[in-house]
Structure 1
Amino acid sequence: MAKEMKEQFLEDAQGQLVPIAAVKPIDLKRHEAVTSIMADTFKERDRLVEFKKSIWLRVQDFLAESAKDSGARKFGGPKGNVTLTSFDGRFKVMVAVNDTVQFNEKLQVAKQLIDKCIAT
C-alpha cells in the first residue's frame, strides 16, 4: 500500500509530497529525463571507479615487480606520484595522488559543541 501511495505522489525540492495530478506534464517529462540521465551517470561513475581501481592495481603490480628487479624500495615522488612511459614514447600513464583532507564525525560533534556554546 505504501508503494501505491508513493506512486501517486512526487517529492518536491522542499521534501513535500505533491500529487502527480497536480504536476504539469512538462514538469513530469523533465523529471523523468533528468532522473534517467542521472541513473546513467551514476552507472558510468561506478564503471569509471572500477576502471581507476584496475589501473591503480596494475601500476602497483608493475612497480612491485620493477622494485624487485632493481632492489629499490619505493618509486615515485614524495606523494607517490609516478609516470610510466611506453617504450616508443607515444603513451604516458601518470598516477598523481592528491592531498586531501577528510573530516570524520568528530569534526561534526566539535562543530555542534561550538555552535551550542555560541548560541548560549
Structure 2
Amino acid sequence: MDKYITRSVRIFRPTRTTMQAGARHPQIWRLEWDFTSSRHWENPVMGWTSSGDPLQATYINFPTLESAIRFAEKQGYSYQVEPDSTLSKFAVKSYADNYRVETMNPSKISHTK
C-alpha cells in the first residue's frame, strides 16, 4: 500500500474536445497519477500496452487549481502543476486586411509597368 502513497501526480487543465467549440467550456483542473514504466508491458500479438497499475487510467476533476493542490498535499502526493494550456484570444480582422499595402511583405508586391 505504501507504493500508492509515494506516487507523484500531475495537475493540469485538460484541452477542450472538438465537440466543445464555444468559449464557455468548463474550467476544470485534472489530477492524474504519473506513468510508472516498471508496471507496463506490451502485448506481443496485438501490440497493445497493458498495465497492472490500477491508478493508470483514473483521474479526478477539480473546480479550482487550489482544491487540486490541497487534495494532493492532504494525501501526501508529490505534485507537479503544468501551465494552463488554453489558447489566447486572437485579433479579429477582415479578409481585406490580407491585401493592404501597409501590412503586406514588400517582396510579395508585384509591380507592373
Give the TM-score, by structure 2 length: 0.23
Q: Which has the higher contact order (CA 8 A, sep 6+)?
A: 2
User: Which structure's residues are more often helix, by fraction?
Assistant: 1
User: Which structure's residues are more often strand, by fraction?
Assistant: 2
Give the TM-score, by structure 1 length: 0.22
Task: Find the structure with the greater CA-based Rg.
Answer: 1
